A and B are shown apart, each in its own frame.
Chain A
């Protein structure tokens, strides 16, 4: 059974804090993604990675960075959290190929106070 896990389900941080969100997949997928989901806006792509140490900006990369040192792990970093980064963050992975399914983790609901 495929599995994508995220380090936290709920997280509360203060403005200016550095925040790490971790995602791990056990399917040996090459592609991994970070999205945020906000009401009325759907899922928006923050960053994605085609392979280890490779990263590409998505549609809304500002205020975020990522790290992929190992194939199974993709980290999202908020260098200095702001209140407008309060959101649901979803990680996903996918095998190479545009028709393959993306598998999502359970999500991290981040609140920045």
Chain B
């Protein structure tokens, strides 16, 4: 079983729509959680950290559910520029990062 699993998508949504997707992780000792964004042929970049109480950054909302071992990302009022692959990232107590394979989001005009 992979340490971090994501629905690969693609999620194809119109501008202005809301899109949400989850990521599950297998290691209950995981301590830190992140969403990274990766544009086509570019390197991953940190989008946001995910805190236990959930957090927002503009149109992006991240949630953590430790009991069910998943994190989620919700994008409101989607923009064309939100088209990217979103990587779920989880750290364990030995500070190693485990990456999901990514969820592709395509926002159409």
Contact = CB atoms under 8 A, between A and B. Distances in A.
Given A98-B31, A99-B32, A106-B42, A42 B96 contact: no
A93 to B, nearest CB: 12
Interface of A: 31, 33, 35, 40-45, 48, 58, 90, 97-99, 101-102, 104-107
Interface of B: 4, 8, 31-32, 34, 42-46, 49, 87, 91, 93, 95-97, 99-102
Q: Which 4 A-B pairs have the closest CB atoms?
A: A42-B101, A104-B43, A43-B99, A98-B95
A31 B97 CA distance: 12
A99 B93 CA distance: 11
A88 to B, nearest CB: 9
Contacts of A104: 43-45
26 contacts: A40-B101, A41-B101, A42-B4, A42-B87, A42-B99, A43-B87, A43-B99, A44-B99, A45-B97, A58-B96, A90-B43, A97-B95, A98-B31, A98-B32, A98-B91, A98-B93, A98-B95, A99-B32, A99-B49, A99-B91, A102-B46, A104-B43, A104-B44, A104-B45, A105-B43, A106-B42
A36 B60 CA distance: 28
Nearest to A43: B99
